[in-house]
């Protein structure tokens, strides 16, 4: 339904270019559009978010009211003030127009629009999520929400000072038209480059497939399978993350002539530490000290934990001393531009920036993960030792479990874990 109440708000150029009209929920869309990315946290999660956003008075990016209603990982992801920590260290003062591609339910959008000098266009493929994002920002008039597949949108050229892909480019292959995962990423970077002003910068936030927590047994965030990213996604469904070497290759093929890699910890989703290891003047002592307070999390586990997590601080110390922090960071915050000076202007002024970290205490009972084949093998081994009926018990291990075990044992990730165990002792 068209918004008949809109009067003073000017129509954004991107909406005019694509023939969009502002609907009654505050989202711009084509009148006949029914397109949906099919991406969702689930109806129950979206209903919960709608109820919380509808009943809350403080919708700000640092709202204690919203954080008080965090009860599981989805509500933490969408409502925690830590989400905007990803951008808080950046200098946005020289930017004016911002394009956020893939805004989700609006947690990053909210922070951007709170910077009153910015005008923000935020695009989301899911109409339901776009409506939730608009509700999160309903008291702000410098942000416009559009729902569409941005692969098919006409984007104004030479228009934006900042283009953001936060948790988006890993899905590029899923929503492209038969392109390879890597080519789909390059296509989106090309789209972003055309939309930028001469001094504009692209911001990319994404996991590192060879991040330390994945080496230590954390499940890959999108497939909920340990080590699948370390094996470079042998059965990719169009969802793929990249390590630093792969990003350097992609950037070299992109239209951008300059780049910087920032390191958010424990990851880009809920960062409370941002390290600039590219600065050439990294304070290693400060970095090691700050990393000692990091607790990486497995978001596919009800307890958010993973094997060997208790050894993380001392492993980070070794990683810093070996100058391998960029290679093993769990996530990346990439800045891409035409000129290094533009990236420097946007970058944090300190090489190590610590940020606020709210405490949440919940066990996410909604997370369901199939038992690890290793847990089943260990259970059977104990039974065998106790009953001395090795042959009978071994027959209970299914063929599927044997195949999964063999695949993991021969994976790069498991070999790296074994190497780390030999290096650090029993982890």
State mean pLDDT over 327-354: 97
Joined together, the tokens standing for residue 131 give: 């409506």
What the chain holds in terms of domains, given with CATH numbers, is 13-354 (3.40.50.150), 373-424 (no CATH)
269-292 pLDDT, tens digit per residue, is: 999 999 999 877 899 999 999 999
Running DSSP on this structure, what letter comes out for residue 36? -
Give the percent of the chain with pLDDT over 70: 79
Question: pTM (2 decimals)?
Answer: 0.84
Q: Please tell me which residue, 417 or 69, carries the higher pLDDT value.
A: 69
The whole-number pLDDT of residue 369 equals 44
User: In whole numbers, what is the pLDDT of the chain averaged over residues?
Assistant: 86
* Res 93: pLDDT: 97
According to the model, what pLDDT value does residue 401 have?
60
Q: Residue 357: which pLDDT band, with cuts at 50, 70 and 90?
A: confident
Q: Which of 42-46, 148-152, 177-181, 193-197 has the lowest mean pLDDT?
A: 177-181
Choice between 208 and 359, residue whose per-residue pLDDT is larger: 208
Q: Report the run of H or E that residue 55 belongs to, with start and end.
A: helix 43-55
pLDDT digits (tens, 9 = 90+) for 95-154: 999 999 999 999 999 999 999 999 999 999 999 999 999 999 999 999 999 999 988 899
- How far is Cα 164 from Cα 111, in angstroms, rounded to an integer? 13
Q: How far is CA 73 from CA 77, 99, 304, 365, 402, in A?
A: 6, 27, 9, 10, 32
pLDDT for 409:
59
Q: pLDDT class for 236, splitting at 50, 70, 90?
A: confident
Q: Which has the closest alpha carbon to 155: 214, 115, 196, 184?
A: 196
Q: What's the mean pLDDT in 28-32? A: 83
Per-residue pLDDT, 375: 41
Partners of 333 in the β-ladder: 205, 262
**pLDDT-above-90 percentage for the chain:** 69
Q: Tell me which of 72-86, 104-118, 226-240, 302-316 is least confident.
A: 302-316
What is the layout of strands, in order, in the sheet containing 27-29? 21-22, 27-29, 143-147, 119-124, 97-101, 160-166, 196-207, 331-337, 258-265, 273-275, 352-354
Does the structure show a pLDDT above 60 at 343?
A: yes
pLDDT value, residue 311: 84
Contact 112, 98 (CB under 8 A): yes
204-to-237, 276, 290, 304 alpha-carbon distances in Å:
21, 15, 23, 25
- Which residues 6+ apart lie within 8 Å of 281 measured at CB? 351
Mean predicted confidence (pLDDT) in 323-347: 97
Mean pLDDT: which of 32-41, 221-230, 392-401, 413-422 is highest?
221-230
pLDDT at residue number 397: 54
pLDDT recorded at residue 122: 98
**Residue 402 pLDDT:** 61
Which tens digit of pLDDT belongs to each residue from 360-416?
A: 766 665 654 444 443 444 444 445 555 545 555 555 555 556 665 566 556 655 565
The string of pLDDT tens digits covering residues 293-308 is 999 999 998 777 776 6
State residue 31's pLDDT score.
72
The pLDDT assigned to 412 comes to 58
């Amino acid at each position: 339904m068209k918004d008949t109440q809109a009067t003073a708000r000017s129509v954004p150029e991107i909406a005019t270019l694509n023939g969009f009209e502002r609907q009654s929920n505050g989202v711009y869309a084509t009148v006949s559009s029914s397109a949906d990315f099919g991406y969702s946290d689930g109806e129950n999660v979206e209903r919960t978010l709608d109820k919380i956003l509808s009943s809350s008075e403080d919708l700000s990016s640092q709202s204690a009211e919203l954080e008080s209603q965090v009860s599981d990982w989805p509500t933490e992801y969408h409502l925690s003030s830590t989400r905007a920590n990803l951008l808080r260290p950046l200098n946005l003062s020289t930017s004016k127009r911002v394009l956020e591609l893939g805004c989700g339910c609006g947690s990053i959008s909210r922070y951007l629009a709170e910077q009153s000098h910015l005008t923000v266009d935020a695009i989301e493929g899911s109409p339901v999520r776009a409506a939730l994002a608009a509700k999160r920002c309903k008291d702000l008039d410098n942000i416009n929400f559009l729902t569409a597949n941005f692969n098919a949108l006409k984007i104004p050229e030479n228009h934006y000072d900042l283009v953001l892909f936060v948790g988006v480019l890993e899905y590029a292959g899923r929503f492209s038209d038969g392109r390879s995962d890597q080519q789909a990423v390059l296509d989106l970077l090309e789209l972003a480059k055309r939309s930028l002003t001469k001094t504009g910068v692209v911001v990319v936030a994404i996991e590192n497939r060879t991040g330390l927590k994945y080496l230590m047994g954390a499940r890959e965030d999108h497939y909920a399978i340990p080590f699948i990213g370390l094996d470079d996604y042998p059965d990719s469904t169009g969802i793929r993350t990249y390590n630093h070497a792969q990003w350097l290759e992609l950037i070299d093929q992109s239209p951008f002539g300059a780049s910087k890699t920032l390191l958010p910890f424990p990851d880009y989703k809920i960062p409370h530490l941002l390290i600039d290891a590219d600065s050439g003047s990294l304070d290693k002592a400060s970095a090691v000290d700050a990393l000692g307070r990091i607790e990486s999390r497995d978001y596919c586990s009800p307890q958010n934990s993973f094997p060997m997590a208790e050894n993380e601080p001392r492993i980070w110390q070794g990683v810093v001393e070996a100058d391998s922090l960029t290679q093993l960071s769990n996530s990346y915050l990439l800045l891409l531009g035409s000129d290094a000076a533009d990236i420097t202007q946007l970058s944090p002024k300190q090489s190590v920036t610590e940020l606020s970290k709210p405490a949440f205490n919940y066990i996410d009972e909604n997370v369901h993960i199939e038992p690890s084949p290793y847990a089943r093998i260990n259970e059977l081994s104990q039974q065998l030792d106790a009953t001395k009926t090795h042959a009978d018990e071994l027959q209970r291990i299914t063929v599927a479990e044997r195949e999964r075990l063999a695949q993991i044992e021969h994976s790069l990730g498991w070999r790296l874990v074994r190497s780390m165990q030999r290096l650090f002792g029993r982890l």
